[in-house]
Amino acid sequence: MSDPTTQNTICLEEATIISQQSFPGDQYILRVHAPRSAARAIPGSFAHLACGPAIPMRRPLSIMRAHQRKGWLEFLYKPVGAGLEHLKKQTTGETLSLLGPIGNGFTPDPRRPNILAIGGGVGIPPMIFLAESLQNDNRFEVLVMMGSEVPFPFELSKAGISVSRVPPTASYGVTLLEEWGTPSRVASKAGYEGCFQGFVTELARIWLSKLSAQELQKVQLLGCGPTDMLKATTVLAKNFDLPCQLALEEYMACGVGGCAGCTVLLHTPQGPTMKRVCVDGPVFDAYQIY
């Protein structure tokens, strides 16, 4: 339907690769110059990238960081499938067709100032973006919890910003987030130093269970990660009676709402409905998904 508020919101630009770094666990952080998309990106939004001429279908990647002034976007991905396998071979100076930014981002509720942002694996990027964008927003205090079963592709260091009632084994945080003044804690079953030994949602449960009823009324959950993590996050939300928004992934073709290929079944008060992850999401109310 014709909606002036959505027209011309997505840019098609030739993005030049600034850097592509590989990390243990077959992880890559890609930074591209895409100034028009960078100017509009919001936490939770994504870009639809053409990975190379041999792989014409685009691949959606969550935006991890966007620098408006310098005009770059940053992504974290694991090369799952032919498209991203091709993408990882692209080097500095090469260009990629980029469609973005796409999608509705997280909309934290100002009535609940304490955000617990839970990210798992390649679902971590939106939480980094959220932390960076809210670092100077006095309405919110963000605590980021991240889980990964491969080494985190970020520098970790002993957490300087204290968070009460977090298990002492979760002693490390992400250095970059610390620099932004955002506390973070990491979890893994792989036994990495400073990490909580278990799933990130277990770490979150322990922390939430130690909050008073009054404190819980100030908390909201935001999540992005593998399906099992999203389900576990929703269980936490229901158990502790917290609002919860989740960013979803699905195979995508057009990325602009035209093909209905990326839909998710939502349970709304009006009954079941199929919504497009690309432009109706990718962020949805967890209570409508699970």
End-to-end CA distance of the chain: 28
In the bound state with another protein, the residue whose beta carbon lies nearer, of 54 and 213, is 54
Residue 72's contacts (CB-CB under 8 Å, 6 or more residues apart) are: 18, 31, 32, 33, 34, 35, 38, 65, 66
Question: Residue 257: what residue type?
Answer: G
21: how many CB neighbours lie within 10 A of its CB? Answer: 11
Shortest CB 45 distance to another protein, Å: 13
Gap between the Cα atoms of 170 and 23, Å rounded: 22
Shortest CB 86 distance to another protein, Å: 12
Residues of this chain that interact with another protein (CB under 8 A) are 1-3, 6-12, 36, 50, 55-58, 82-83, 97, 99, 250-265, 272-274, 279
Q: What is the gyration radius of the CA atoms in the chain, in angstroms?
A: 18
CB 271 within 8 A of CB 91: no
Count how many Cα atoms sit within 13 Å of the Cα of residue 108 in the half-sphere of its side chain.
28
Shortest CB 191 distance to another protein, Å: 27
In the bound state with another protein, the residue whose beta carbon lies nearer, of 147 and 282, is 282
In the bound state with another protein, the residue whose beta carbon lies nearer, of 83 and 183, is 83
Q: Which residues pair with 61 in a beta bridge?
A: 47
Shortest CB 3 distance to another protein, Å: 7
Helix (H, G, I), strand (E, B) or coil at 155: coil
Buried b (16+ CB within 10 A) or exposed e, 25-63: eebbbbbbbbbebbeebbbbbbbbbbbbeebeebbbbbb
Shortest CB 81 distance to another protein, Å: 8
φ, ψ dihedrals at 177, nearest 5°? -65, -35
Shortest CB 226 distance to another protein, Å: 15
In the bound state with another protein, the residue whose beta carbon lies nearer, of 40 and 189, is 40
Shortest CB 205 distance to another protein, Å: 28
In the bound state with another protein, the residue whose beta carbon lies nearer, of 44 and 183, is 44
In the bound state with another protein, the residue whose beta carbon lies nearer, of 2 and 162, is 2
Gap between the Cα atoms of 216 and 208, Å rounded: 7
In the bound state with another protein, the residue whose beta carbon lies nearer, of 7 and 164, is 7
